[in-house]
Amino acid sequence: MPSIGEPPAGRDDLPPLDLLLPAPRRIDPDPREDELAALYADGPPARGSSTVRANMVASIDGAAWGPDRRSGSINDDADWRVFRVLRALADVVLVGAGTARAERYTTLGRPRGLEHLHEAPLELAVVTRTGLVPEHLTGAQRPPFVITGRTGARIVRERGLPEDRLLVTDGDTSDGGGSAGSEPDVDLAAGLAALAGRGLRRVLTEGGPSLLGDLLRADLVDELCVTTTPGIVGPGPGRIVAGAAPSGPSVGPPRGARLTHLLHSPHARPGAPAGTTLARWLLPIG
């Protein structure tokens, strides 16, 4: 899960990024980030009415978060450069309710200085089976869209979410908010279609791992951007993909993916490890 929020204004110490693939070149920091944005501007063919891009960060031993259970303790400035560009290009950021709480999401805006990449407001959409969306979000001046089932909708309505921000759908996928079979699940495909019906077709999901697992299981992810930072967390944290294991003796063969580009940051702040990589993978349909 990438970190959220903005660093202090006027930062001039961001690292350059080496594009290793497809053709090596240096991408220096730029207030407008036009060169970096061009690498991510053209998305893959959508599986439906939306294009879903996932952006996640992990340590080299696979941890999705650090000792504070937040992704901010494992990411770095190189990750932050790409994170800002991906948000600037998206119509809506999609997260699970647990991630919205743990990462302290608030109403979103375009990253400062990158408003030229997309003029429309950046929306937030929260997936929840239980309806337990943080109250500071449901009561915000511009609250998120909430994708949930019938039971969750009742809870969210009690918290004062405007009806036009509520997307109610039941189906066969879940955001991991409760035990299996305890509540109607959330149909993520229908939720994405509802967002697309409101003009929000370029979806950026920032997790958490359970939501990403559900999106992958439903074959709804078109693109996976993975930052690997040069740190070792050790036992405890989960991977960037989580969820209930499939039944049977085998999980089946790994799914293929196509690498479109690979960025590398050899620079870091004094005393910090260097060697972050940022990969963009396209996932096949079916």
- Asked whether residue 205 carries a pLDDT value surpassing 90, the answer given is yes
2 vs 115, residue with greater confidence? 115
CA–CA separation, 204 vs 91, rounded Å? 8
43 falls in which pLDDT band (50, 70, 90)?
Answer: confident
49 falls in which pLDDT band (50, 70, 90)?
Answer: confident
Alpha helices in 159-240 (DSSP H): 188-197, 209-217
> What predicted TM-score, i.e. pTM, was given to this entire model?
0.88
CA–CA separation, 260 vs 282, rounded Å? 7
For residues 133 and 154, the answer to whether their CB atoms sit within 8 Å is no
Buried b (16+ CB within 10 A) or exposed e, 12-35: eebbebbbeeeeeeebeeeeebee
Which burial class, exposed, middle or buried, applies to 235 when counting CB atoms under 10 A from its CB (0-12, 13-18, 19+)?
exposed
Share of the chain above pLDDT 70, in %: 86
267 falls in which pLDDT band (50, 70, 90)?
Answer: confident
179 falls in which pLDDT band (50, 70, 90)?
Answer: very low
Strand order in the sheet with 123-127: 25-27, 17-21, 258-265, 276-282, 223-229, 51-59, 202-205, 92-96, 123-127, 145-148, 166-168
Task: Give the range among 18-32, 37-51, 79-93, 152-166 with minimum mean pLDDT.
Answer: 37-51
Cis, bond preceding 266 (omega within 30 deg of 0): no
Instruction: Count other Cβ atoms within 10 Å, centred on residue 286.
Output: 6
Bridge partner residues of 165 (DSSP)? none
pLDDT of 200:
97
- Asked whether residue 259 carries a pLDDT value surpassing 90, the answer given is yes
Please, what sign has the CA dihedral across residues 170, 44, 85, 270?
positive
- Asked whether residue 245 carries a pLDDT value surpassing 80, the answer given is no
Task: Give the range among 65-79, 99-113, 176-190, 201-215 with minimum mean pLDDT.
Answer: 176-190
Mean pLDDT along residues 231-250: 77
How many angstroms from the chain centroid is the CA of residue 41? 16
Written as six digits, the tokens of 220 are 């709804």
- Phi first, then psi, for residue 145 (nearest 5°) are -75, 140
Task: Give the range among 52-66, 146-160, 164-178 with minimum mean pLDDT.
Answer: 164-178
- Asked whether residue 177 carries a pLDDT value surpassing 60, the answer given is no
